[in-house]
Amino acid sequence: MADDNPRDLYIRALKNTHALEQQALQIMERQVERLDQYPEMEQALRRHIQETHGQRDRLEEALLGFNEKPSALKEGVLGFVGNMASLTHAGFGDEILKDTYANHAFENFEVAAYKSLLTIAEIAGERSTAGFEQSLREEQAMARFIHDNVEAITRKYASLAIAGEKAKI
Ligand SMILES: [Fe+2]
């Protein structure tokens, strides 16, 4: 960790956050196709996918301003959260629960990443951070939406599972 100037730290943070958004897109795009029983979550996810494209563009623009390109996608930047999000539980019908837990975790992960990015921007004397403040608010809103919907999703899942079980008898 020697010889890092604030600008290097900022560029690294931009690249890491960019890789994070790339992975978030992959995860959400995989999930959104199997949410037809959960229209509210599907709608929120589709909206957030759109927002995430904007977030990624803002990061790319900031990197371009330093004549830097985003790094090739670093697999696993989300670590265990990413692993959890890519688990499939085909056949059990409870993917929605795991997806919800994983989304709750990774939206909060992104909230922390943007807070950190904004702090490093400040240390680096970077003034044009309004876009990242917007990204932070979008992540906080999505984290809040998931947080507020865990119970409703679980009830819906349970009623579908129980109805399916009854239908077999
Ligand atoms: Fe997000």
Those residues whose beta carbon sits under 5 angstroms from the ion ligand 1 are 110, 139
pLDDT in tens, 25-68: 999 998 998 898 999 999 999 999 999 999 999 999 999 999 99
* CA 65 to centroid of ligand 1, rounded, Å: 23
* CA 64 to centroid of ligand 1, rounded, Å: 22
* CA 106 to centroid of ligand 1, rounded, Å: 7
Distance of alpha carbon 167 from alpha carbon 12, whole angstroms: 54
Strand (E) or helix (H) holding 97: helix 95-123
Distance of alpha carbon 10 from alpha carbon 7, whole angstroms: 5
> Where on the phi/psi map is residue 63: left (φ > 0), alpha (ψ -120 to 50), or beta?
alpha
The answer to pTM > 0.85 is: yes
pLDDT in tens, 126-166: 999 999 999 999 999 999 999 999 999 999 999 999 998 77
